Structure 1
């Protein structure tokens, strides 16, 4: 018997199971735009799906609990003037979502906990800097308010969404960028491009630090993601148009750690990676299956686990962060499969007889608190995600309402991080201090004028009631 069959791993048996029919989301008009993004984003509170819409771009945001048939008049998030191409939930606030569109802009939205009575049309921040459509959007994994966008103008822009300003612009790609993936602590990101190169970029140095021509020999689009250990997992095509997986060490791009041929389907494989278990889930557009592999340090390094198959092909796929798992059911992953008219959650579980908390399945996972402020990250600091225990499950916090006067603040800082008494004017940048003073003066003037108006109205009212008028 070969060693691969008796491989010791707690994830040798991972079973995929679709939820019951009444636990899905029906009557969703999933977007028909031919763009290789996942069209779906989920977090422990909400499900967001890019949908068909006339006269612009829109997406639907549903509370996870709102299962069943979706009312055709359910309010959408509208605001883009062209089709929405990609969406991504902020890892540090379950109510903040970023979107990008063919209209060349990216937008950041605050989603309320309650069901809105009308479409949401006012973003918190509009990010304008690309000259062509923006097809990729992804949040920094550990720094607050840092967002990356990539457009068909071959530019990558990194924004501070708290101020609405671009921090870094990179123009190292001569052709269309297929995908971008941050590494575990957000110090680097990797990209795949139409010029068939896989690049590793250091954004704060604005340079490409490593690259490999044609990690897959085919000319079809590639995808690449960083693993927790710092290797790069790729999906692409062989010269004979077979789908292929690769695992690479970015410090030595000469030879792959592993290269594995899959099948002859033509859908681009979208990889979804779980850093806690080192399992990667592959879903191809137009496929009706999800394959999953465990990445280890022993040969053959990429171990096939199993395949979940269903009858209908998928239009897109969402991947739930570990915080959203049901630990009582030994659930280690949940994917949200988009059909033509519905979204179907698929649970990945490891069968265990005990109903106690399984420590080995749930190491501490990335929590919702950012590890760095934008200024610290820009100054060159790196930090791994702040981890939280899954022992008692995870309860999403209530939304912190954002009061944004201008494009200046994306979220209120938690009181535990820094009390108000600890903030003094001397620690603020001069420009921000001037802006705050100006806003306070404007507010004072507004309050005074309103007080005068109220007094005048009260005087008029008293004359009416006294019969003098």
Structure 2
């Protein structure tokens, strides 16, 4: 009698579970723009969501701790003059956010650790080079300040946001670019296009090195809607999560080196369809609960975190679930990468958990030499020849003033109490 062999995998029993209701983010007007990006990006400090707003595009950038109902007057990021189409947190600075818009520009923002007192309207730098809407923004995984943008002009531009200058541009696509994804060390990237071709591109050689592979390594039937699939891949566990826009399920698969390569694990299902999905970097997870992934599901009016967990009884750190993972330090400077150097991510251990660093300001060191016109969206600091956002500086001053006022008020109360005690002693009543 034959015996069925069950494939051994530590991820066979991974299960998804939404957080408690009070740990979700409520009363958010998620954007209704018909675009195929995720509309949501997250890191260990912030959650950013593209939202509805009058008079142009808007982004809600919330500290992760601000769960529950979001105040309708919470200050938004509102510098774009057209709807925002894509957003991405910088992997090397948790306070830096990139955005692309229908106004044909990409912008880079410094999000403060404290709650702003008014909307953020001044980006650190505005990247102008596309002739049509910018639908994709994607940071380089290992090089500092390198950002890729792709527009409906079928053009890809790679920027050094530290100088505000374009480094490379490519026009290899005859039709609309649907998606772009860097490889692990940022030496290559892959694109999907409306012409139904997949391209692997070496940007520094400006070459398409592969187009449409001969045979897929695996085929998987997907019982899903006609909406776009958002694939979220975790290279530490080799698990890919497939989230369909307009679908209410998240299917996840393990990828291995041996045939049949792709192994179905399970499906997380809920009643409401998703408008978009954010994916937390590994350093933002709760390792004490054996959480191996956290997805941020967008509904029409809220964002719901979903925790993917491996059931384990031990409270000890699980080395096999958490190999050293990509940390926040870049492995290369922009100039090194442009000259042809490659480097894998700088890894960190999660054994003792991860504590995000405090706000580090990104400086733009010189004006875009290709733009002879004044740049109204950039502001120049009077010292060091650097550029700094006046909005952030203003709000820091406001915060300092508020702290000083609170200190003065507490000292005034203490002085008043001491005077009253002194008065009692001198009057002989004490």
State the TM bucket, normalised to the shorter chain: 0.7 to 0.9
CA shift digits 1:30-80 (9 cap, x unpaired): 000000100000000000000001110001000000000000000000100
In the other structure, the counterpart of 1:366 is 326
Note the alpha carbon deviations across 1:314-362, whole angstroms, 9 max, x for none: 0000000000000000000000000000000000000000000000000
Shift of 1:404: 5.0
Change (3 A) 1:2 1:148: farther
* Aligned counterpart, 2:290: 330
Indicate whether 1:347 and 2:335 are aligned: no
The question of whether the paired residues in 2 share the 8 Å contact of 1:147 and 1:158 is answered with yes
Are residue 38 (structure 1) and residue 38 (structure 2) matched?
Answer: yes
Judged with a 3 Å threshold, the aligned counterparts in structure 2 of structure 1 residues 278 and 390 are, in CA distance, closer, same or farther, namely same
In the TM superposition, residue 407 of structure 1 has moved relative to its aligned partner by 4.6
Three-state SS of the structure 1 residue aligned to 2:233 is: strand
Structure 1 residues 2 and 345: alpha-carbon distance in aligned structure 2, compared to 1, 3 A threshold? farther
Question: 1:119 & 1:37 partners in 2: Cα distance?
Answer: 24
The question of whether the paired residues in 2 share the 8 Å contact of 1:258 and 1:300 is answered with: yes
Equivalent residue, structure 2, for 1:227:
none
Aligned partner of 2:396 in structure 1 is none
In the alignment, structure 2 segments of 5+ residues that lack a partner are 369-381, 387-430
CA distance in 2, matches of 1:439, 1:399: 20
Shift of 1:406: 5.0
Deviation beyond 4 Å, 4+ runs, structure 1: 402-408, 438-442
Under a length normalisation based on structure 1, what TM-score does the superposition of the two structures give?
A: 0.77
Aligned residue for 1:258, secondary structure, equals coil
State which of 228, 233, 240 in structure 2 corresponds to 1:280.
240
**Distance in 1, Cα, partners of 2:23 & 2:56:** 30
Could you list the per-position Cα deviations for residues 85-104 of structure 1 after superposition, in whole angstroms to 9, with x for gaps in the alignment? 00000000000000000000
Matches within 5 A, 1:15-414: 15-212=15-212, 253-263=213-223, 265-402=225-362, 406-407=366-367
How far does residue 255 in structure 1 lie from its aligned partner after superposition? 1.6
Pairwise CA distance, 1:401: 3.3
Alignment partners' CA distance in 2, 1:112 and 1:64: 13
Distance 1:188 1:267, change over 3 A: same
Is the 1:30–1:339 contact (alpha carbons within 8 Å) kept by the matching residues of 2? yes
RMSD (Å), alpha carbons? 1.7
Higher relative contact order (CA 8 A, sep 6+): 2
When residues 55 and 363 of structure 1 are mapped into structure 2, their CA distance, relative to the original with a 3 A threshold, is: same
Deviations 1:7-40 (A, max 9, x none): 1111111010000000000000000000010000
In structure 1, the gaps of 5 or more residues are 213-252, 409-437, 443-469
Contact 1:124 1:407 in 2 (8 A): no
Residues 293 and 303 in structure 1, CA contact (< 8 A), matched pair in contact too: yes
CA separation of 1:84 and 1:2: change in aligned 2, threshold 3 A:
farther
Contact between 1:370 and 1:386, CA under 8 Å: does it hold in 2? Answer: yes
- Counterparts of 2:171 and 2:133, CA distance in 1: 15
Change (3 A) 1:177 1:440: closer
The CA distance in 1 between the partners of 2:51 and 2:318, in whole Å, is: 38
- Provide the rounded CA distance (Å) in 2 between the counterparts of 1:274 and 1:173: 28
CA contact (8 A) 1:294 1:303 kept: yes
Q: What SS does structure 1 have at the residue aligned with 2:78?
A: strand
Displacement of 1:261: 1.6
The match for 2:390 is none
Inter-CA distance 354–191: structure 2 relative to 1 (3 Å threshold): same
Provide Cα deviations, 1:131-175, integer angstroms capped at 9, x if missing partner.
000000000000000000000000000000000000000000000
Take 1:81 and 1:268, find their aligned partners in 2: how far apart are those partners? 26
Q: 1:235 — aligned with what?
A: none
